[in-house]
Structure 1
């Protein structure tokens, strides 16, 4: 497999200090964008989103994870930058999620990655996909919903991100943490993005990852825009048109960086560099109904005030 993760990528991307121009430039710069996004109208939607630069903050003002320190709760640690929304919040061993009962999948999942969470003896061969009993039977998905559909049960919080505890890994196999995902995407380009997020823990103190589905509109032959997506199984589990990842990176000393990615739920050439899927964070916020930037700004502003007061 060709390696597409260069060391330069580790320190490039979308920084809070630099805004999100990299993603904006990609969205409208290549003639083959339509093949990657699946629909030209998706590209147009993102091109119209204004880019708002975000100031940097000093990582010394943050409350970092200390190597060797065991947090009281990994899920509590994942809450550091707040929630993109407040509906149907559920906490697991090491991630937090907001469940969407209408679509039978999560709206978002937040997890914190560092070398400690990625290390351990946990093995996915001991895990099985299971219904989430905390979700009402009317609103939950089942394994039968996926059977014969041609879609993978695609993890939102990846199993390999939580090797530190077998229970933590087991929790990623709740069906409330998966969405119907094209198998070629799940096992190739999306898998590359998950691996890349894990590799960032070698270069940053903490890596916070928020993942979720998108249901983007497209223009139909009548010239009108429609949001259309497939549903599978007797419980009508929604098949996302796209998936997003928002990555918050904390340096030991320096600024906090923000990178945001969108991939269409379709086969993609795994050799396409991951930076080609960078998009403005505002495009994800608008398309998903979620908010990330205000939470980051509130968090860093509060820590600045505490530091100055001290």
Structure 2
């Protein structure tokens, strides 16, 4: 009996110790979990505080260097990460200035789509009913009646994806302008991507950007809208990297653009002439003069694109000669055509075939010449060495090679190397 009592006693002690141990572990888990929650809360508070200081620093920098010179009757409207001058006559901004920070590299904020009127515009900004009508149906769903234009961002929302507040403010209607979808979602968006790509390649700098429409009294209006927003025919963007003392401008038509962005690169001086706006006027005069005459698009693109050449302006070419942009329209035809361009890259495959890209390099290439290995004997020169960087006319049928306009050549008679002075490169409207 005594032996049984001892066994029972030690069993109870063991059970109690296990229970106490389990209880202590659970308490420890709860305690550590609470500590982690507190750390997450503190981390979120620090992020918010850091964002506040970054926005304050951004506004200081923008005010110091990034704002254009204003007229006496113009008021600058300042938001968290962008500033603008609003044109009541045209119901959109005359210009919007902002800075692209390296913070976009790790920014994770997504589109908010919270379009809304800008309460800081004293006369009232444009609003939703200036771009489309929205009617609620009996089933609770909405029916939309659009007026034919996107609400195009002047300062793109993706440039603020590091700040929830700044990104949300980019959806204010004071930052919108009526853009054709093919333009807004096409080359205008591509240009925005180029500038963000520049920051990815140069994470130690920041870009000062001013964007806007070319406004004048003769612009048509969105007549169905309440405030009759003007429809710009052209948009501009000026960009400055003050760290590396570089700048460039762009003027692009509000239409579907087939030519690459390089065709629309201009100096800031040219944008100032077109807009009447004095950009980056607070810089030292010598530095301002230096950067505002620059127009080197290759400074702003990845290494692979630095050899790209603007496709030729078709109206300046002889009759019956087409540029590389037009090649896609001629793809699949039965007749031989003549394409003009510059060989920017040449490659020989493992199988011995030769491929030449005209005007734009891979992966943005728009027209390719293919010379199969068995046809290389029909050339008195090495196409790889002789044709690179040469301006040529090439004649043949254009085939569809995995969606790429491609001309297969059998001999050198199809190629006519042109003197460089014969080619005239002009920036102009789309044909």
| Structure 1 gap ranges (5+) | 1-68, 217-226, 302-310
Superposed displacement of residue 215, structure 1: 3.3
- Tell me which residue corresponds to 1:85: 69
Q: How many aligned residue pairs are there?
A: 216
From 232, 237, 240, the equivalent of 1:245 is 237
- Tell me which residue corresponds to 1:182: 180
| Structure 2 gap ranges (5+) | 1-52, 133-145, 289-431
Q: TM-score, normalised by structure 1?
A: 0.65
Distance 2:103 2:267 in 1: 30
- Say whether residues 1:261 and 2:250 are aligned partners: yes
Superposed displacement of residue 167, structure 1: 1.0
- Tell me which residue corresponds to 1:236: 228
Superposed displacement of residue 228, structure 1: 2.6
Superposed displacement of residue 284, structure 1: 1.5
From 127, 131, 149, the equivalent of 1:146 is 131
Distance 1:260 1:287 in 2: 11
What does the per-residue CA deviation read over 1:195-235, in whole Å, with 9 as the maximum and x for residues that have no partner?
A: 0011111334111111010037xxxxxxxxxx631111120
Distance 2:281 2:81 in 1: 23
Q: TM-score, normalised by structure 2?
A: 0.47
Distance 1:261 1:163 in 2: 24
- The 5-angstrom pairing of residues 1-310 of structure 1 reads 70=54, 72-86=56-70, 87-124=74-111, 126-137=112-123, 139-147=124-132, 148-204=146-202, 205-215=205-215, 228-232=218-222, 233-251=225-243, 255-269=244-258, 272-292=259-279, 294-298=281-285
Superposed displacement of residue 82, structure 1: 4.5
What does the per-residue CA deviation read over 1:254-285, in whole Å, with 9 as the maximum and x for residues that have no partner?
A: x401100010011112xx32111112322211
Distance 1:134 1:215 in 2: 21
Relative to structure 1, is the Cα distance of residues 79 and 118 closer, same or farther in structure 2, using a 3 angstrom cutoff? farther
Superposed displacement of residue 98, structure 1: 1.3
Relative to structure 1, is the Cα distance of residues 294 and 72 closer, same or farther in structure 2, using a 3 angstrom cutoff? closer
What does the per-residue CA deviation read over 1:53-76, in whole Å, with 9 as the maximum and x for residues that have no partner?
A: xxxxxxxxxxxxxxxx94634233
Superposed displacement of residue 88, structure 1: 1.7
Q: Contact 2:238 / 2:250 at 8 angstroms: preserved in 1?
A: yes
Superposed displacement of residue 96, structure 1: 1.3
Superposed displacement of residue 108, structure 1: 0.8
Distance 1:142 1:284 in 2: 28
Superposed displacement of residue 182, structure 1: 0.9
Superposed displacement of residue 180, structure 1: 0.5
Distance 1:82 1:298 in 2: 15
Q: Which has the higher contact order (CA 8 A, sep 6+)?
A: 1
Distance 1:77 1:280 in 2: 23
Relative to structure 1, is the Cα distance of residues 105 and 118 closer, same or farther in structure 2, using a 3 angstrom cutoff? farther
Superposed displacement of residue 140, structure 1: 2.0
Distance 2:122 2:55 in 1: 31
Relative to structure 1, is the Cα distance of residues 133 and 248 closer, same or farther in structure 2, using a 3 angstrom cutoff? same
